Structure 1
């Protein structure tokens, strides 16, 4: 899911030439982010397994359900956010992007990225 999200956002923000000129750096940064997120997820899974004495698949399902509930709540909350408040949230979006992608194209996000993204 994360990899395809980065692929989609890169396609929205970069020209084909920009992507190919920076592909190596972008791919490495995506891999670094994936490794970091996978490490955090593994730590969470094993910590919660130990805390609640559940099987890993059960813990994984509980975490997945929690993430989905948080996503739904966040999506609902963002529906009522003012334009000024949304502007204050943009650094979070920028920080989520691979650095090279953000450096090359973040200034284009308002024209090229749908608001719901």
Structure 2
């Protein structure tokens, strides 16, 4: 039973014993993580605590040196953020990566704007570059 009296739920995203080293620096040391269905998570902590490293390991930006990540109970290994995004894992970065000239919605979809299919959509994608 959980604290609210309901049955135990399976985490939608979990990580076990995630370890990541950069040379002699241990950024994550056997870190465990669970995200339950319906939760929105904000990761906070001191500088150098490993927050960014954990998020990058979960979202495919970094490969952990050790440990496992499970999505809906299935073992996954993301080799790039696009793979994680396609699986439903998205990272919303701090405001340093945002544009103050854009709306909140525009910032959230920056780089993932919906385009028209076909040749006209290709032209607009080309012009945006």
TM-score normalised per structure 1: 0.23
- Larger RCO (CA within 8 A; separation ≥ 6): 1
TM-score normalised per structure 2: 0.21
- Structure richer in helix, relative to its length: 1
- Structure richer in strand, relative to its length: 2
Higher Cα Rg: structure 1 or 2?
Answer: 2
